[in-house]
């Protein structure tokens, strides 16, 4: 979950690295540092605990001038957040520095081995074994060949790692390596300058041309370009990808937080998600990147969806879509459970990962498990060039643009929309979804971005959510209830509240109330219900009565024109009336806004919630 930025070229390195780290601060932020080769050819290092601004102040006091450097923002895995544990870590002679994202699982044995060779450690981190190991091989068995020394060292490491090494003895190059699923390594191509980063937004201001390292690959990056190899030094062909994201999309604009911007841009992001996928002539869905033809679709016996967190809740919605429209059984499993329960998977099944970052270690491991059992693997993924998009047989891009806020919002609605597209696609390919039904749903889908835009426009102008936050921000527990396709939306709404406002919240199937949760209801336990006028509406009304009878406050996500429910509850979070299939995508938006305003009212760090990171690349 750390952020890495490297630069080599003709401009001052420090400002470019700092700007890139600012874009990556959401990935990990309890300390930060950088190293630059100064004009005398010596490596200068600055490291500070706390937020990136502390490092910026240190550099203002003691600037470093040079055109080659590497920087890092840290989310602690080994060793508490502190200056001594901040990256870069240096070799004893100060000639070599390393930054890392990931974990060295065998660092204790390596540390003991290196200490027996005379190395003295200055930090509690696992990363420090990497720089000493490279230094050892460089001076003892690689005869001053830095690439060889890095390769030797990487072969000793166990666990996922992405690293960048810089040596004052080889000032014309950076060396980047990717081991396992430690988060991406992007190599950016400029004019007479090159970039390395753990995530696209860090360098998107400088270049749109990027290549991405795969597992056990390295890049030797000079100002003129990059050479890609495996860890035995054999050349590797890499495709250079043009990234079409809008660089300002990774900026907050007029919003206070990335999360707020990403909530309110869902009208546009849903437009992008649908772009190029609705065929209004054939009433079909276009999903070429899925690489699944009609024969394969007809052979499918089951789909297992694997994901974590918010993406898992999107998968629960997908189950309703795919079973209803494609008549295909769907199982949804936490990736962290799937990978360890010896799952029964077969070649006539699809294992579908949902992952915004494309780098979640449990989700990638679940895909690996599915691949070894011969299943058709697919991913619904947002981050371009991420591992999940590359290791699967097919994928569906969320096309939501960069999602910077740690709490996932627009990626969630994009995932659900992609799942609806997939269900329609499979229904047609399997011959179980007649054209008239497809035509109706596709026509409704084309109205989705407009409906989202209207809902969000009204919410942005309204004081409703700030007033609700004022009234409820001191409560300590919330219950979220939904039925059928809105049960996963209740789970997601609860997660949004808890992960950014630190209020305990639990999402539950409304029908389960009598089986336990109703014991919790009193005036101190507000209940949020999702109750559009669908086939279970009457059941939700009686649920509301039961909560109100026990003095429980009730907030209802409901149709804006529903006066029945308005008379029964303490507040309505309005959504427009539309096709039942689209309603879950809209119903989550008021819950996102409510959670956001509660977190702001409580003074929480909305974009960087404590203990969380945007991409969980370590177990």
Catalytic residues: 2, 614
CA-nearest of 501, 498, 544 to 521 is 544
Shortest spacing between CB 103 and ligand AGP, in angstroms: 17
Q: Is the dihedral of CA 498, 585, 464, 561 positive or negative?
A: negative
Q: Comparing C-alpha atoms, which of 582, 558, 481, 561 is closest to residue 527?
A: 481
| CB nearer ligand AGP, residue 228 or residue 594 | 594
Strand pairing class (161-167; 96-102): antiparallel
CB–CB of 172/14 below 8 Å? no
- Residue number with CB closer to ligand AGP (199 or 562): 199
The answer to whether residues 443 and 435 touch, using CB atoms and an 8 Å cutoff, is no
CB of 305 to ligand AGP, least distance (A): 12
CB atoms within 10 A of CB 248: 10
Q: Tell me whether residue 552 or residue 584 sits nearer to ligand AGP (CB atom).
A: 584
- The residue among 156 and 390 lying less far from ligand AGP, judged by its C-beta, is 390
Residue 529: Cβ within 10 Å count: 25
Tell me, rounded to whole angstroms, the distance of Cα 57 from its chain centroid: 30
* Residue 102 or 532 having the CB closest to ligand AGP: 102
- 313 versus 320: smaller Cβ distance to ligand AGP: 313
Footprint on this chain of ligand AGP (rule: CB under 6 A) = 308-311, 355-357, 360, 363, 406-408, 499, 615-616
Give min distance, CB of 613 to ligand AGP, in A: 8
**Calculated CA dihedral for residues 444, 447, 452, 455, nearest 10 degrees:** -100
Within its chain, how far is the Cα of 538 from the centroid? 37
Task: Decide whether 352 or 407 has the Cβ nearer to ligand AGP.
Answer: 407
Q: How far is the CB of 295 from ligand AGP (least distance, A)?
A: 30
**Which residue's CB atom is positioned nearest to ligand AGP?**
309
Report, in Å, the least distance between residue 363 CB and ligand AGP.
5
Looking at beta carbons only, is 7 or 412 nearer to ligand AGP?
A: 412
* Bridge partners, 68 (sequence order): 8
Angle between the N-to-C axes of helices 435-461 and 266-274, in degrees from 0 to 180, rounded to the nearest 10: 160
Cβ neighbours for 142, distance < 8 A, ≥ 6 positions apart: 148, 149, 152
| Residues 371-405 as b or e (16 or more Cβ within 10 Å = b) | beeebbbbbbbbbbbbbbbbbbbbbbbbbbbbbbb
Tokens of 291: 């690489």
The 3 state secondary structure assigned to 403-465 is CCCCCCCHHHHHHHHHHHHHHHHHHHHCCCCCHHHHHHHHHHHHHHHHHHHHHHHHHHHCCHH
Residue 471 CB, nearest approach to ligand AGP (Å): 24
| CB of residue 160 to ligand AGP, shortest distance in Å | 15
Is it true that the peptide bond before 61 is cis, omega within 30 degrees of 0? no
Report the distance separating Cα 557 and Cα 519, nearest Å: 23
CB of 162 to ligand AGP, least distance (A): 16
List residues bridging with 571 in a β-sheet: 555
């Amino acid at each position: 979950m750390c952020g890495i930025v490297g630069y080599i070229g003709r401009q001052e390195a420090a400002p470019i690295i700092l700007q890139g780290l600012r874009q990556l601060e959401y990935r990990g932020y309890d300390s930060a540092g950088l190293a630059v080769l100064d004009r005398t050819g010596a490596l200068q290092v600055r490291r500070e605990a706390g937020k990136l601004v502390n490092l910026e102040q240190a550099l203002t006091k003691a600037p470093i001038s040079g055109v080659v450097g590497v920087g890092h923002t840290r989310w602690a895995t080994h060793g508490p957040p502190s200056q001594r544990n901040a990256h870069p870590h240096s070799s004893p002679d100060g000639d070599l520095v390393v930054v890392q994202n990931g974990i060295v699982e065998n660092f204790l044995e390596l540390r003991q081995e290196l200490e027996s060779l005379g190395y003295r450690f200055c930090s509690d981190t696992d990363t420090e074994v990497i720089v000493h190991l490279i230094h050892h091989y460089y001076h003892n068995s690689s005869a001053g060949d830095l690439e060889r020394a890095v390769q030797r060292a990487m072969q000793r490491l166990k666990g996922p790692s992405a690293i960048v090494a810089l040596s004052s003895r080889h000032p014309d190059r950076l060396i980047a390596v990717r081991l396992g699923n430690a988060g991406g390594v992007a190599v950016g191509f400029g004019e007479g300058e090159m970039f390395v980063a753990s995530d696209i937004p860090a360098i998107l201001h400088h270049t749109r041309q990027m290549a991405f390292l795969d597992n056990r690959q390295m890049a030797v990056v000079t100002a003129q370009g990059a050479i890609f190899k495996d860890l035995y030094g054999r050349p590797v062909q890499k495709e250079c990808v043009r990234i079409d994201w809008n660089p300002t999309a990774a900026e907050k604009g007029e919003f206070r937080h990335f999360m707020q911007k990403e909530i309110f841009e869902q009208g546009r992001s849903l437009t992008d998600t649908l772009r190029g996928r609705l065929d209004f002539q054939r009433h079909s869905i276009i999903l070429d990147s899925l690489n699944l033809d009609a024969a394969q679709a007809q052979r499918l016996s089951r789909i297992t969806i694997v994901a974590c967190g918010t993406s898992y809740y999107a998968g629960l919605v997908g189950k309703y879509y795919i079973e209803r429209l494609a008549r295909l059984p769907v199982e949804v499993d936490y990736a962290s459970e799937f990978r360890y329960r010896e799952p029964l998977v077969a070649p006539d099944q699809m294992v579908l990962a949902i992952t915004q970052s494309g780098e979640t270690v449990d989700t990638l491991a679940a895909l690996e498990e599915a691949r070894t059992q011969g299943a058709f693997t697919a991913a619904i993924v947002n981050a371009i060039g991420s591992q999940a998009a590359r290791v699967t047989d097919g994928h569906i891009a969320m096309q939501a643009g960069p999602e910077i806020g740690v709490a996932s919002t627009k990626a969630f609605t994009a995932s659900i929309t992609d799942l609806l597209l997939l269900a329609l696609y499979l229904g047609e390919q399997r011959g179980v979804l007649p054209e008239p039904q497809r035509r109706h749903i596709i026509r409704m889908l084309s109205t989705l971005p407009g409906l989202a835009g209207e809902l969000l426009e009204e919410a942005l102008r309204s004081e409703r959510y700030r007033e609700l936050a004022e009234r409820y921000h001191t409560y300590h527990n919330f219950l979220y209830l939904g039925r059928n396709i809105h049960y996963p939306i209740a789970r997601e709404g609860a997660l949004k509240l808890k992960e950014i406002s630190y209020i305990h919240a639990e999402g539950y199937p409304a029908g389960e109330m009598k089986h336990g949760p109703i014991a919790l209801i009193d005036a101190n336990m507000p209940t949020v219900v999702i109750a559009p006028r669908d086939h279970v509406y009457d059941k939700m009304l009686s649920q509301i009565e039961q909560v109100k009878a026990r003095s429980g406050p009730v907030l209802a996500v409901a149709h804006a024109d529903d006066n029945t429910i308005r008379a029964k509850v303490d507040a309505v979070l309005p959504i427009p009336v539309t096709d039942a299939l689209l309603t879950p995508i809209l119903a989550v938006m008021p819950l996102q806004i409510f959670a956001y305003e509660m977190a702001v009212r409580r003074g929480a760090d909305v974009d960087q919630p404590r203990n969380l990171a945007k991409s969980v690349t370590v177990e």
